[in-house]
Structure 1
Amino acid sequence: FVVFPFFFVNIFVALIIITFQEQGEAELQDGEIDKNQKSCIDFTIQARPLERYMPNKRNSFKYKIWRIVVSTPFEYFIMMLIVFNTLLLMMKYRDAPPLLDDILQVMNLVFTSFFLIECILKLIAFGFKNFFKDPWNIFDFTTVIGSIVDALVLELVERNREIPPRQSPNGQIYLNGFDASTKDNSFNMGFLRLFRAAR
């Protein structure tokens, strides 16, 4: 007795939906457009243009830089750099030869330089206000800053390796400018590398 009322309610709702659909199709049959054409028209009416900044003066240096950074070849070039940068990160492994570590470090600096140049060009083309309106630009800017910090930390670690170990008055040994008993340095390095992987 409880199931039957729900069953009839569902049938009633289904009949109402079918009736409305048939009435809508009947109205379309009387017109000159079909259902798909009406959907396209509705989509066009409801669409809103995307906001995209463009410098006013087309003869200015800023406009020329803008044309470069919004061009398709420039975007493909940046995507190619991101792919190569990701592959470079995958080549890093534990107990790697010193020569490989040096090559990877130099290549990381090269990629970081390219991404920094990209960021500077976009800042020139869009200006600070319009540049930071785009969440992707904010993400790229944060990633570039993280990559620069990562490169600086790597350079400091390399320089500290040249410093001989020293012993404090209480007998605790400090190696390469860091406490030999802690692993915080390696954790920080791994965290900073996430910026490049995210890029």
Structure 2
Amino acid sequence: MTVSRDPASPAGPAHMPDGAAPGPADPAEVLAKLGRSWTWVLGSAVATLVPGILILVWPEETLHVVAVLLGLYLLVTGAFRFVEAFARDDHGERLPGLLLAVLYVLGGVLCLRNPLQTIAALSLIVGIVWVVSGILTLYTALAARDLPHRGFVLGIAVIGIVAGIVVLALPSESARALTRLLGLWLVLLGLAEVALALAWRAALRRAGIAGSHDPARTG
């Protein structure tokens, strides 16, 4: 999970000299503004929570359904990670976020490409994604010393690493047990991201710019 370095950093269009009208919006700036919005962070949390809840509520569903849910979760999360990467002001700090986006999309494609594969194969894909994602998020949190709510980001990174290790380390004799485990970890990760989204909203409100970073309140 990536958030902008400074809640008070301006996100609106730059004023042109001599009253000239501003040109077309820079796509990178549009993505950066969207990625800084707390509602975007909350959307990422919902994209993680919903598949986890569905897997826990319907553990008897076929492996095909589980594979589709996991594949869609990874693809949608990859899209969120791509946008969130642009919330970083330093272009060099965007690289971990972009790598995360590619990793999630690749994992989603692998899940959807063969939805009839075993639960062990699905666990392997998701476990690797979680471990690598957690490591990259941990690196981002430690490298960016002025990152807001560092504790929340570090917590999400640790949860992701632990979730990936547990899923990869457990034996695959019980498909139902692994399915429940995947659902449980998705719910825990989603709840952690909800906490981060609410903390980010509080930071924006303290800075007095909640409206300017919230696309839902623009026109």
Larger RCO (CA within 8 A; separation ≥ 6): 2
Query: Which structure has the bigger radius of gyration?
Result: 1
TM-score normalized with structure 1 length: 0.41
TM-score normalized with structure 2 length: 0.38
